[in-house]
Amino acid sequence: MNEYTSFVALGDSFTEGMSDDLPDGTCRGWADLVAARLAERTPGFRYANLAVRGKLVRQIVADQVDVAAGMAPDLVSLACGLNDVLRPSCDLDAITDLVTRAADVLAATTGRLLLFRVIDPTGRMRGSARLMPRITRLLAVVDELAERHDAVVVDLFAAKAFNSSALWSDDRIHLNAEGHRRVAEATLRALGCTPEFDWTAPVPPAPAAPWTARARADLRWARVHLGPWIGRRLTGRSSGDGRAPKRPDLVPFG
Protein backbone atom coordinates (compact mmCIF):
# COMPACT_ATOMS: atom_id res chain seq x y z
CA MET A 1 0.00 0.00 0.00
CA ASN A 2 0.98 3.66 -0.30
CA GLU A 3 2.67 5.23 2.72
CA TYR A 4 0.33 8.01 3.82
CA THR A 5 1.75 10.66 6.13
CA SER A 6 -1.45 12.70 6.54
CA PHE A 7 -5.20 12.14 6.39
CA VAL A 8 -8.13 14.58 6.39
CA ALA A 9 -11.72 13.31 6.73
CA LEU A 10 -14.74 15.32 5.54
CA GLY A 11 -18.46 14.76 5.89
CA ASP A 12 -21.30 14.42 8.38
CA SER A 13 -22.08 12.16 11.36
CA PHE A 14 -20.93 9.05 9.49
CA THR A 15 -17.38 10.42 9.45
CA GLU A 16 -17.49 12.38 12.69
CA GLY A 17 -18.27 9.07 14.39
CA MET A 18 -21.09 9.08 16.93
CA SER A 19 -20.62 5.72 18.58
CA ASP A 20 -18.07 5.80 21.36
CA ASP A 21 -17.89 8.80 23.67
CA LEU A 22 -14.33 9.37 24.83
CA PRO A 23 -13.29 10.90 28.18
CA ASP A 24 -12.84 14.31 26.57
CA GLY A 25 -16.45 14.27 25.27
CA THR A 26 -15.59 13.62 21.63
CA CYS A 27 -16.70 10.61 19.58
CA ARG A 28 -14.68 7.86 17.94
CA GLY A 29 -15.62 6.52 14.53
CA TRP A 30 -14.19 4.72 11.52
CA ALA A 31 -12.00 7.65 10.45
CA ASP A 32 -10.32 7.80 13.86
CA LEU A 33 -9.68 4.04 13.74
CA VAL A 34 -8.20 4.33 10.26
CA ALA A 35 -5.96 7.18 11.39
CA ALA A 36 -4.78 5.13 14.37
CA ARG A 37 -3.82 2.22 12.12
CA LEU A 38 -2.04 4.42 9.59
CA ALA A 39 -0.21 6.21 12.41
CA GLU A 40 1.24 2.88 13.54
CA ARG A 41 3.04 2.64 10.20
CA THR A 42 4.27 6.22 9.92
CA PRO A 43 6.00 8.26 12.64
CA GLY A 44 4.67 11.81 12.75
CA PHE A 45 1.45 10.85 10.96
CA ARG A 46 -0.99 13.78 10.93
CA TYR A 47 -4.78 13.66 11.02
CA ALA A 48 -7.69 16.12 10.85
CA ASN A 49 -11.41 15.36 11.01
CA LEU A 50 -13.56 18.22 9.74
CA ALA A 51 -16.85 16.29 9.69
CA VAL A 52 -19.84 17.57 11.66
CA ARG A 53 -23.08 15.69 12.27
CA GLY A 54 -26.19 16.73 10.41
CA LYS A 55 -24.40 18.61 7.66
CA LEU A 56 -25.80 18.74 4.14
CA VAL A 57 -23.64 18.64 1.02
CA ARG A 58 -23.83 22.40 0.48
CA GLN A 59 -22.57 22.96 4.04
CA ILE A 60 -19.75 20.47 3.63
CA VAL A 61 -18.69 22.20 0.42
CA ALA A 62 -18.90 25.63 2.03
CA ASP A 63 -17.22 24.80 5.33
CA GLN A 64 -14.90 21.86 4.79
CA VAL A 65 -13.70 21.41 1.21
CA ASP A 66 -11.50 24.49 0.83
CA VAL A 67 -10.10 23.99 4.33
CA ALA A 68 -9.12 20.42 3.51
CA ALA A 69 -7.69 21.43 0.14
CA GLY A 70 -5.52 24.01 1.85
CA MET A 71 -4.07 21.31 4.10
CA ALA A 72 -2.94 19.31 1.01
CA PRO A 73 -2.93 15.92 2.77
CA ASP A 74 -1.74 12.65 1.24
CA LEU A 75 -5.19 11.15 1.77
CA VAL A 76 -8.61 12.82 1.96
CA SER A 77 -11.99 11.14 2.43
CA LEU A 78 -15.33 12.49 1.24
CA ALA A 79 -18.57 10.87 2.42
CA CYS A 80 -21.75 12.91 2.05
CA GLY A 81 -25.18 13.12 0.49
CA LEU A 82 -27.28 10.76 2.57
CA ASN A 83 -28.62 13.55 4.81
CA ASP A 84 -29.80 15.32 1.67
CA VAL A 85 -31.35 12.18 0.19
CA LEU A 86 -33.44 11.66 3.34
CA ARG A 87 -35.14 15.04 2.94
CA PRO A 88 -38.41 15.26 0.99
CA SER A 89 -37.31 18.42 -0.80
CA CYS A 90 -34.10 16.85 -2.08
CA ASP A 91 -32.78 18.55 -5.27
CA LEU A 92 -30.77 15.64 -6.63
CA ASP A 93 -29.25 17.55 -9.54
CA ALA A 94 -27.91 20.23 -7.21
CA ILE A 95 -26.58 17.62 -4.78
CA THR A 96 -24.73 15.63 -7.42
CA ASP A 97 -23.27 18.83 -8.87
CA LEU A 98 -21.97 19.81 -5.43
CA VAL A 99 -20.51 16.37 -4.72
CA THR A 100 -18.77 16.49 -8.10
CA ARG A 101 -17.39 19.96 -7.42
CA ALA A 102 -16.10 18.86 -4.02
CA ALA A 103 -14.40 15.76 -5.40
CA ASP A 104 -12.80 17.73 -8.24
CA VAL A 105 -11.33 20.29 -5.84
CA LEU A 106 -10.05 17.68 -3.41
CA ALA A 107 -8.56 15.45 -6.10
CA ALA A 108 -6.66 18.40 -7.56
CA THR A 109 -5.13 19.47 -4.24
CA THR A 110 -4.49 16.22 -2.34
CA GLY A 111 -2.59 13.00 -2.88
CA ARG A 112 -5.38 10.41 -3.01
CA LEU A 113 -9.16 10.75 -2.81
CA LEU A 114 -11.19 8.22 -0.80
CA LEU A 115 -14.91 7.81 -1.60
CA PHE A 116 -17.73 5.65 -0.24
CA ARG A 117 -20.62 3.75 -1.77
CA VAL A 118 -23.19 4.27 0.99
CA ILE A 119 -24.73 1.52 3.10
CA ASP A 120 -27.94 0.08 1.64
CA PRO A 121 -30.76 1.06 4.05
CA THR A 122 -33.46 -1.18 2.59
CA GLY A 123 -32.53 -4.23 4.64
CA ARG A 124 -33.22 -2.57 7.99
CA MET A 125 -35.31 0.61 7.53
CA ARG A 126 -39.00 0.28 6.75
CA GLY A 127 -40.07 2.52 3.87
CA SER A 128 -36.53 3.21 2.69
CA ALA A 129 -37.11 1.49 -0.66
CA ARG A 130 -38.67 4.75 -1.89
CA LEU A 131 -35.24 6.36 -1.54
CA MET A 132 -33.48 3.88 -3.80
CA PRO A 133 -33.71 5.94 -7.02
CA ARG A 134 -31.92 8.78 -5.24
CA ILE A 135 -29.36 6.46 -3.65
CA THR A 136 -28.71 4.74 -6.97
CA ARG A 137 -28.01 8.12 -8.53
CA LEU A 138 -25.61 8.96 -5.69
CA LEU A 139 -23.80 5.65 -6.17
CA ALA A 140 -23.45 6.32 -9.90
CA VAL A 141 -21.87 9.71 -9.21
CA VAL A 142 -19.38 8.12 -6.81
CA ASP A 143 -18.45 5.53 -9.44
CA GLU A 144 -17.99 8.22 -12.09
CA LEU A 145 -15.82 10.34 -9.80
CA ALA A 146 -13.74 7.34 -8.78
CA GLU A 147 -12.94 6.60 -12.40
CA ARG A 148 -12.22 10.24 -13.20
CA HIS A 149 -9.82 10.73 -10.30
CA ASP A 150 -8.46 7.20 -9.80
CA ALA A 151 -9.97 7.37 -6.31
CA VAL A 152 -10.06 4.59 -3.73
CA VAL A 153 -13.66 3.42 -3.24
CA VAL A 154 -15.03 1.65 -0.16
CA ASP A 155 -18.09 -0.33 -1.25
CA LEU A 156 -20.36 -0.59 1.77
CA PHE A 157 -23.53 -0.87 -0.31
CA ALA A 158 -22.89 -4.50 -1.20
CA ALA A 159 -22.24 -5.61 2.40
CA LYS A 160 -25.30 -7.36 3.85
CA ALA A 161 -23.80 -7.43 7.34
CA PHE A 162 -25.02 -3.86 7.87
CA ASN A 163 -28.60 -5.12 7.76
CA SER A 164 -28.08 -6.28 11.34
CA SER A 165 -29.35 -4.00 14.10
CA ALA A 166 -26.31 -5.12 16.12
CA LEU A 167 -24.17 -2.67 14.11
CA TRP A 168 -26.37 0.36 14.80
CA SER A 169 -26.87 2.62 17.78
CA ASP A 170 -30.12 3.09 19.68
CA ASP A 171 -31.24 5.85 17.32
CA ARG A 172 -31.22 3.34 14.41
CA ILE A 173 -29.55 5.92 12.18
CA HIS A 174 -25.91 6.00 13.27
CA LEU A 175 -23.43 3.15 13.43
CA ASN A 176 -22.32 1.91 16.84
CA ALA A 177 -18.75 1.03 17.80
CA GLU A 178 -18.85 -2.36 16.05
CA GLY A 179 -20.33 -0.79 12.93
CA HIS A 180 -17.53 1.77 12.82
CA ARG A 181 -14.95 -0.95 13.41
CA ARG A 182 -16.21 -2.76 10.32
CA VAL A 183 -16.21 0.38 8.19
CA ALA A 184 -12.64 1.10 9.33
CA GLU A 185 -11.54 -2.39 8.34
CA ALA A 186 -13.26 -2.05 4.95
CA THR A 187 -11.47 1.27 4.43
CA LEU A 188 -8.09 -0.10 5.43
CA ARG A 189 -8.56 -3.05 3.07
CA ALA A 190 -9.38 -0.66 0.23
CA LEU A 191 -6.19 1.26 1.04
CA GLY A 192 -4.17 -1.96 0.78
CA CYS A 193 -3.57 -2.71 4.47
CA THR A 194 -3.19 -6.27 5.70
CA PRO A 195 -6.60 -7.72 6.68
CA GLU A 196 -7.28 -8.10 10.39
CA PHE A 197 -10.76 -9.65 10.28
CA ASP A 198 -13.66 -10.29 7.89
CA TRP A 199 -15.65 -7.06 8.00
CA THR A 200 -18.37 -8.59 5.79
CA ALA A 201 -19.00 -11.56 8.09
CA PRO A 202 -22.70 -12.00 9.00
CA VAL A 203 -23.69 -10.97 12.50
CA PRO A 204 -25.18 -13.85 14.52
CA PRO A 205 -28.91 -13.16 14.97
CA ALA A 206 -30.01 -12.09 18.42
CA PRO A 207 -32.69 -14.14 20.20
CA ALA A 208 -36.16 -12.98 19.22
CA ALA A 209 -37.61 -10.60 21.79
CA PRO A 210 -41.29 -10.82 22.84
CA TRP A 211 -43.55 -8.49 20.90
CA THR A 212 -44.24 -6.50 24.06
CA ALA A 213 -40.54 -5.76 24.46
CA ARG A 214 -40.28 -4.78 20.79
CA ALA A 215 -43.28 -2.50 21.13
CA ARG A 216 -41.77 -0.79 24.20
CA ALA A 217 -38.48 -0.35 22.34
CA ASP A 218 -40.28 1.19 19.37
CA LEU A 219 -42.16 3.61 21.60
CA ARG A 220 -39.01 4.64 23.38
CA TRP A 221 -37.20 5.12 20.05
CA ALA A 222 -40.03 7.30 18.75
CA ARG A 223 -39.99 9.45 21.90
CA VAL A 224 -36.22 9.78 22.33
CA HIS A 225 -35.02 9.85 18.73
CA LEU A 226 -37.72 10.11 16.07
CA GLY A 227 -39.67 12.95 17.72
CA PRO A 228 -36.67 15.26 18.13
CA TRP A 229 -35.50 14.42 14.60
CA ILE A 230 -38.89 15.42 13.15
CA GLY A 231 -38.88 18.55 15.28
CA ARG A 232 -35.53 19.61 13.86
CA ARG A 233 -36.73 19.00 10.31
CA LEU A 234 -39.87 21.08 10.86
CA THR A 235 -37.97 23.99 12.37
CA GLY A 236 -35.00 23.89 9.99
CA ARG A 237 -32.54 23.00 12.73
CA SER A 238 -29.73 20.44 12.68
CA SER A 239 -27.98 18.36 15.32
CA GLY A 240 -24.75 19.97 14.13
CA ASP A 241 -25.82 23.59 14.54
CA GLY A 242 -23.12 25.51 16.39
CA ARG A 243 -20.88 22.45 16.58
CA ALA A 244 -17.22 22.71 15.58
CA PRO A 245 -15.17 19.89 14.04
CA LYS A 246 -13.52 17.71 16.65
CA ARG A 247 -10.08 17.77 14.94
CA PRO A 248 -9.99 21.00 12.91
CA ASP A 249 -6.21 21.08 12.48
CA LEU A 250 -3.89 18.71 10.64
CA VAL A 251 -1.69 17.74 13.56
CA PRO A 252 0.18 14.62 14.70
CA PHE A 253 -2.19 11.82 15.69
CA GLY A 254 -2.44 10.97 19.36
Q: What is the pLDDT of residues 95-145, one digit of tens each?
A: 999 999 999 999 999 999 999 999 988 877 666 678 889 999 999 999 999
Q: In this structure, are 195 and 218 located in the same domain?
A: no
In a domain, 13, yes or no: yes
Task: Give every CB contact of residue 61 below 8 A, 6+ residues apart in sequence.
Answer: 98, 101, 102
In a domain, 246, yes or no: no
Confidence band, pLDDT 50/70/90 cuts, at residue 88: confident
pLDDT for residue 165: 87
Q: In this structure, are 118 and 232 located in the same domain?
A: no
Long-range contacts, 125-134 (Cβ 8 Å, 24+): 125/172, 131/85, 131/86, 134/85, 134/90, 134/92
pTM > 0.75: yes
pLDDT for residue 231: 60
Q: In this structure, are 67 and 157 located in the same domain?
A: yes
Give 165-199 pLDDT, tens digit per residue: 899 887 768 899 999 999 999 999 999 999 999 99
CATH of the domain at 37: 3.40.50.1110
Domain's final residue, options 183, 206, 229: 206
Number of domains in the chain: 2
pLDDT for residue 199: 97
Range of the domain at 26: 6-206
Q: In this structure, are 92 and 79 located in the same domain?
A: yes
In a domain, 250, yes or no: no
Q: In this structure, are 107 and 218 located in the same domain?
A: no
In a domain, 54, yes or no: yes
